[in-house]
Structures are given as structure tokens and as C-alpha cells.
Amino acid sequence: MIPLVIGAIPPYGVLAQTPQLPPAQAAPKSAQIDRNGVLILIRSALIALDQANKTGNYTVLRDLGAPGFQANTAARLAEIFVAQRRDNIDLSGVAVLDPQLTVLPQIEPNGMLRMAGFFPSVPTQVNFDLLYAPVSGQWRLFGISVNLGQAAPTAPNAPSPGIEAKSVPTTKNSPPTAAGKPTPAPK
């Protein structure tokens, strides 16, 4: 079995043991799950992670997971999420905000449910990528990756003092030269 990092969203992710993929890599297919089911799965996982980060106790997060996820000890999960704890990342907003999905719930070729997205919040947004394994008729957490990102596009920094930014006018028929000045229009 090989370790799996979900979503490649650095710097926070959980390693889990993944079952062997089928030889023929089929495309993921849409999962038959309603909106409420999606919200429950996403919020449950992220709130469990938030509480584990706040208490330093990862046993509940571990125990809520699928058997492959439980291969991680609580101590290993604490190591994985040490930066989130150190940075005092607060994920509690996921309880009231609606997630925006960038990967709609889909069944991967290995039979696992995957979804990814973000919670748009200010000043940062919470990005997530989640993987669930079917266990006794329920979806159980198998992999989780969470990080914080910008909630809105940011403008570039202002020019340094002493450097003046200038706008160079151009006309429709005179494209700028490499120096940024318009070429003279033909007479």
C-alpha cells in the first residue's frame, strides 16, 4: 500500500493508506448524494479537525475516519497538523458558511467519494479536499487536506518611493514599441 496525500494542497494534509487502484483507470463518476449530505460530510470533517487543532487531541478525528485513516495514530495526526495549531487556524466559520465546490462529489475509480472546494470568508478562505471511503453503508473520512488562501484577488504592491508609474497613451493604429512608447503613425 502507498501513502496518499489528498489534493496536494500544502501545507496541511493527512496521509492515509489507500487500497490498490484497479488496473484500468476509469474516469470519476458523479456521486448520488444530496446537498444536505454533502454539507454534513464537509462540515463534520472540518469541525472535527478544528476541535482537534484547538484541543491538541486528535483521537476523535482519527476514530471518525475509515479504517485506512485510522492507520494514523493520534500522535501522527498531531504532527501532520502542527502548523495549523501553531498558526491558531480557526475553522469554526465552516459551521455557518456555505462551501463553494470546485470538485463536485464524485466517485473515484477506487470507489471512494471525493469533493473539494472552499469556504469564502474574510480575510482568508478555507480550502479543502476530502476523500471518503464506504464503510458499512456510510461514508467515512479517508483523507483530508486543508489550507487557507486569499478570499479575494489582491492588487500588486505600489511602486517603490522615487519610482513613478506612468501610463503611456497609444492610439489604435500605433502599437507600443518594446520601450513602451507609441510608434509614430504613418503620414
Contact 143, 16 (CB under 8 A): yes
Residue 159 belongs to a domain? no
Residue 142 belongs to a domain? yes
Whole-model pTM?
A: 0.69
Residue 106 belongs to a domain? yes
Contact 15, 1 (CB under 8 A): no
The CATH number assigned to the domain holding 125 equals 3.10.450.630
Task: For 148-157, write each residue's pLDDT tens digit.
Answer: 887 655 556 6
Helix (H, G, I), strand (E, B) or coil at 10: coil
Task: For 63-108, write each residue's pLDDT tens digit.
Answer: 999 999 999 999 999 999 999 999 988 899 999 999 999 999 999 9
Residue 166 belongs to a domain? no
Per the structure, the count of domains in the chain is 1
Tell me the torsion sign for CA atoms 12, 18, 20, 26.
negative
Distance of CA 25 to the CA centre of its chain: 24
Instruction: Determine the structural domain holding residue 97 and report its residue range.
Output: 2-17+28-150
Helix (H, G, I), strand (E, B) or coil at 133: strand
Residue 175 belongs to a domain? no
Residue 107 belongs to a domain? yes
Tell me the torsion sign for CA atoms 75, 78, 80, 86.
negative
